[in-house]
Amino acid sequence: MKKLKIFLLLIIFLFLVLATHAQETFDHLIPAPPFRSLAPENPEPVPRQFRSLSLGLSLDELRTALIRDDLFHFRGDRDVSFLPIREQTLVETTGPSFIRRAHFQLTGEVVYIMSFTLNTRLIDHYSVFTSFVRRYGEPVSLNPMEAVWESEETRVSLERPLTIKYIDRTVFDRLVRDSRNLEDRQMLRREEFLAEF
């Protein structure tokens, strides 16, 4: 029993000595390596185009471009829907490899949103993000859900898990304003109707 007490005291003593020595060892900070950005000094403008597909295409031009591009399984009019409530057209198609799904929104027969959901088995988020930074510079906005690159005319976002979205800001902002004006008018009509009682 006496030997056990001595053994325990010896272990406690050694633990305290090692802990004190370890603390002294970690008091020295190792400087972090200098941060090197992947962004070029003169980044390219924010893109409005992916391959032969671009914002501003007409519906006929979009159909032709999708038929010619082997990244897509475009089936013609079966992939085109008209949204009467918004007076918009939606084109949705699939792809055989890197692109799993693609969506194109048109208003006034012109593409103003292109969205590409990529195949995460063939390509990863980090590779796409790195490629964008090397070409277009650091994003203007970065959070766990998306990275955003913007110009006055275009907004490009890389969203998780792996979707790239191109938006024509001029058209999109106009549609948002029109929607707000419509909501305001509907609210005014509702108030006028309620005042009739």
H, E, C per residue of 9-27: HHHHHHHHHHHHHHHHHCC
**9 contacts: CB under 8 Å, gap ≥ 6:** none
User: pLDDT tens across 28-42, in order?
Assistant: 667 777 767 777 788
Q: Judge contact between 152 and 113, C-beta under 8 A.
A: no
Task: Report pLDDT for 20.
Answer: 64
On the question of pLDDT at 152 being above 80, the answer is yes
pLDDT at 89 over 80: yes
Question: Contact 123/66 with Cβ under 8 angstroms?
Answer: no
In tens, the pLDDT along 125-150 reads 999 999 999 999 999 999 999 999 99
0.75 surpassed by pTM: no
pLDDT at 115 exceeding the cut of 60: yes
- Distances in whole angstroms, Cα of residue 27 to Cα of each of 20, 22, 24, 32: 11, 9, 5, 15
